[in-house]
Structure 1
Amino acid sequence: MSHSLIDILSRADVLEFIQTHLNDDPVALVLQSKKIPDLPIREIAAQIQSRKKAQLKLPEWFANQEIIFPHGVSMEQCSSEETAKYKASLVEGKSLADLTGGFGIDLFYLSRQFKKANYIERSEELVALAKHNFGQLGKDNVSFFNQTAEEYLAEEKEPASLYFIDPARRDESNQKVFQIEDCTPDLNLIVPMLLERKAEVLIKLSPLLDIHLALEVLPNVKEVHIVSVKNDCKELLFRIVPNYSGPVNRIAANLTKDEMDVFEFSEAQENESPVFSQPLNFLYEPNASIMKAGGFNAVSNAYSVNKLHRNSHLYTSEKFVEDFPGRSFRIIDQTVLNKKKLKPFLPQGKANITVRNYPMTVKEIRKKTGINEGGEIYLFATTLMDGSLTVLVCKKVRS
């Protein structure tokens, strides 16, 4: 976003128009642009569209009427307020360098933990936007550099305490990429340069990335944080510490409106065998972060819940486990996938269906049984420890 466009969008009449029409359809506004020749309606419509996304994703920034938001990829890929604050809770120190500044959400919250911070970004438009927004938010401990990460590091005079990297995960055709070697900047080149500076490194990567493969590529990783928001896995954070060569701890964090479920485990804990059993009184499904982290045995042992099958990743117990990190259900009955046998439990013909280690998809089950989505009953189609297929009829105890 150019300086001139930032100046235009910062005008009092433009800001007032945006607030007045915040709930209008941006497309409809563009179609009416000829009726309002004195205002840049297309740019205003883009701001309204981005502000609507920011209302839930970035409430603190949304509340400031003078903040200007990007649109397109920069708005889609930026961290949410919750995940940015989570990163900030992990670190502190004298100085911070964000080598991939972008829209600046992560740096804004991370910089609260440091005396000074440097924002490095190769896009001149994003640098201008970040300068404007940080000024509006009263952030005065950040310096701005319009350079690539490589250019900045080649000229850096004093190493930072922490380097943050959120590499671009799109190729030259703007298609998403998920492998480390496809990201920009090249972590295989950058990370060794940072370790030579004896600094810690925090890297944000796609939740679709294979954690095992990443650990084979990234050196000196001490922690992997798997971060979800309301059970939707959002990002992976790799914390690299100079000269560290010990075991990698995995921290599965699920952020909700009112609380944060955090489950930490080591590879040694995951290698400990769990207890298996047939379904008991209660059923548990781990949250998305634990599932992505691969803490299937560790969570079973930590909370004294039994696994139903090695590959089902569903758990059961005689007595209710209040603090299990995930969804909890009371098991009403155990049956098979048969329309007549399921009918007595579904007077409205509705159920929420989950498939775990079962040879049919949810769509196929609905087609076979005619069960519609919704209602208070939850059906778990899964495989038990003896290899038998079953359907567990449940009611939710806790989300």
Structure 2
Amino acid sequence: MSNITSAGVAQFFSPMGQELWAKARAEEYDAASFMLAFRNAYPLELLRVVANQLDISTGVRRKFPSLAPRGVVLDRSLFEQASCEAVARFRATYMQGDTLCDITGGAGIDTFFLASSFSTTHYVEIDPVRHALFCENSRRWGASSSSLETFCADSLSYLKDSRQTYDWIFVDPARRSGDGTRHAEMSAWRPDIVAQQQLLCSSARKVGVKIAPAYDITRLRKEISTMESLRVISVGGEVKEIFAQMSAQGDSIRCTLHAVCLTKEGTPFFEISREGHGDRMLPSSSEATYLYDPDAALIKAGLVHETGALFSMSCVAPHGVLLLKNSYEEDFPGRVLRIQHIFSWSKKRTQTYLRTHGVVGATIIRRDFPLSVQEIRRRFHLFGESANTFLYFTTRGCGERIVIHAEREL
């Protein structure tokens, strides 16, 4: 937890605190200058809460656009772990039922949006300051007090003591320890999902677990044996989370894998799935008119070739992610570029091509290529970026290293 205290939260929501918060925003203070300007005029606990809100205010407006005008008070660690509004809204379209328990309440963004899909919603949070923040935030957001109940309690003890069977349990494990250290191992997260599978699945018909986007999916399927499905969710081309759905009848070997691409507003514009294991292979090709670079969700989920088959495409390499086609597919989920030239990689050949074609700036992308982007820029003096010119450094299935020069169609 940050240095925000219960006393500071209470002072922040008092008339004095709200007046100070309005003044800080109106005069456009940043956190450091605010603390310096008011350090002797107000209680330190209050100053810390206001400074914290100034620190995250820009991110709050971007991450929670509909809630920000109503007021979102969080500490930084809560803000960083909270789901973005787009994903939270989308999740509420498939997590539905009569009863829900969010056993890792935290910021409560998920709780708030999921509550609209359930008759009764329980929010459980062990930290009293975070619990108090959610109670105040949810009131400002307009949550229904008749259908939403909050509990300041240890989540696992709460489940054991309540003896209630929910339609859904939602879990967003804490991936940082008390000193702020981020843990990559799932066994170090709290609660420990792997160790608590039996308790979770016996307490609900379905359990939804939010997983960090960088987590390895193959490893995840081995660790969680009760998994029914996995959703890799991207917003605006960036993977935001992996969502694991568990149940007592789940089988990770046969679980369905989904890739979901959302707009920044949370509207799904592409979704594809595959049941069980087994990769689909596309035919390789050496030439085409258009290069297709798939959305990050498709790459993370390993569903690039399934997507390519849907659009009748070929691939640059059998196990690669770059796709090719002679015609333009407007609805393709990812970047679509017109190919200018494909040539075999060598330092001399690349230097000659760039000089001859006047390429002095480009977006550099490497896929299965030994040189880093920084090294490529250094070797060829490509220090300028370009939103329209792209150079892909990659490797064909035969092992031939190539460069693809492509342009965005204006």
The answer on whether the counterparts of 2:52 and 2:76 sit within 8 Å (CA) in structure 1 is: no
Residues 303-318 of structure 1 aligned to structure 2 (within 5 Å):
303-318=311-326
State which of 278, 293, 296 in structure 1 corresponds to 2:304. Answer: 296
The answer on whether the counterparts of 1:285 and 1:327 sit within 8 Å (CA) in structure 2 is: yes
* 1:116 alignment counterpart: 120
Residues 77-226 of structure 1 aligned to structure 2 (within 5 Å):
77-139=81-143, 140=145, 141-197=147-203, 199-226=205-232
* 1:277 alignment counterpart: 285
The answer on whether the counterparts of 2:213 and 2:242 sit within 8 Å (CA) in structure 1 is: yes
* 1:14 alignment counterpart: 17
Q: Bigger CA drift: 195-204 or 88-97?
A: 195-204
* 1:333 alignment counterpart: 341
Q: Distance in 1 between matches of 2:187 and 2:291?
A: 40
SS of the residue 2:384 aligns to: strand
- Report the CA distance shift for 1:269/1:3 in structure 2 as closer, same or farther (over 3 A): closer
SS of the residue 1:169 aligns to: coil
- Tell me whether 1:350 sits opposite 2:357 in the alignment: no
Once the 2 structures are TM-superposed, how far is the Cα of residue 216 of structure 1 from its aligned partner?
1.4
Once the 2 structures are TM-superposed, how far is the Cα of residue 195 of structure 1 from its aligned partner?
2.2
- Tell me whether 1:76 sits opposite 2:80 in the alignment: yes
The answer on whether the counterparts of 1:263 and 1:325 sit within 8 Å (CA) in structure 2 is: no
* 1:255 alignment counterpart: 262
- Tell me whether 1:265 sits opposite 2:273 in the alignment: yes
Unaligned runs of 5+ in 2: none
Deviations 1:331-370 (A, max 9, x none): 01123452121123335x1111111111211111111111
- Tell me whether 1:28 sits opposite 2:33 in the alignment: yes
Q: Bigger CA drift: 85-94 or 381-390?
A: 381-390
Q: Distance in 1 between matches of 2:290 and 2:186?
A: 40
- Report the CA distance shift for 1:38/1:120 in structure 2 as closer, same or farther (over 3 A): closer
Q: Distance in 2 between matches of 1:397 and 1:249?
A: 36
Once the 2 structures are TM-superposed, how far is the Cα of residue 35 of structure 1 from its aligned partner?
6.4
* 2:374 alignment counterpart: 363
The answer on whether the counterparts of 1:282 and 1:329 sit within 8 Å (CA) in structure 2 is: yes
SS of the residue 1:151 aligns to: helix
The answer on whether the counterparts of 2:283 and 2:318 sit within 8 Å (CA) in structure 1 is: no
Deviations 1:216-249 (A, max 9, x none): 1213322111112222212110011332447222
Q: Distance in 1 between matches of 2:383 and 2:260?
A: 32
TM-score, normalised by the number of residues in structure 1? 0.92
SS of the residue 2:98 aligns to: strand
- Report the CA distance shift for 1:224/1:329 in structure 2 as closer, same or farther (over 3 A): same
- Report the CA distance shift for 1:12/1:374 in structure 2 as closer, same or farther (over 3 A): same
- Report the CA distance shift for 1:189/1:357 in structure 2 as closer, same or farther (over 3 A): closer
Once the 2 structures are TM-superposed, how far is the Cα of residue 198 of structure 1 from its aligned partner?
5.1
Once the 2 structures are TM-superposed, how far is the Cα of residue 389 of structure 1 from its aligned partner?
1.6
- Report the CA distance shift for 1:385/1:238 in structure 2 as closer, same or farther (over 3 A): same
Deviations 1:230-278 (A, max 9, x none): 2221211001133244722222122223653333221568533211111
SS of the residue 2:362 aligns to: strand
Q: Distance in 2 between matches of 1:58 and 1:373?
A: 33
Once the 2 structures are TM-superposed, how far is the Cα of residue 91 of structure 1 from its aligned partner?
1.2
Once the 2 structures are TM-superposed, how far is the Cα of residue 108 of structure 1 from its aligned partner?
0.7
State which of 238, 260, 282 in structure 2 corresponds to 1:232. Answer: 238
SS of the residue 1:316 aligns to: strand
- Tell me whether 1:322 sits opposite 2:330 in the alignment: yes
- Report the CA distance shift for 1:159/1:343 in structure 2 as closer, same or farther (over 3 A): same
Residues 44-63 of structure 1 aligned to structure 2 (within 5 Å):
44-63=50-69
Q: Distance in 2 between matches of 1:221 and 1:333?
A: 45
State which of 384, 387, 396 in structure 1 corresponds to 2:399. Answer: 387
SS of the residue 2:292 aligns to: strand
* Matched pairs, number: 395
Q: Bigger CA drift: 189-198 or 291-300?
A: 189-198
Q: Distance in 2 between matches of 1:38 and 1:5?
A: 8
Q: Distance in 1 between matches of 2:407 and 2:276?
A: 34
The answer on whether the counterparts of 1:224 and 1:236 sit within 8 Å (CA) in structure 2 is: yes
TM-score, normalised by the number of residues in structure 2? 0.90
The amino acid across from 2:10 in the alignment is D
SS of the residue 1:170 aligns to: coil
Q: Distance in 1 between matches of 2:278 and 2:354?
A: 36
Q: Distance in 1 between matches of 2:409 and 2:97?
A: 42
Q: Distance in 2 between matches of 1:265 and 1:321?
A: 20
The answer on whether the counterparts of 1:269 and 1:297 sit within 8 Å (CA) in structure 2 is: no
The answer on whether the counterparts of 2:176 and 2:183 sit within 8 Å (CA) in structure 1 is: yes
Once the 2 structures are TM-superposed, how far is the Cα of residue 71 of structure 1 from its aligned partner?
1.8
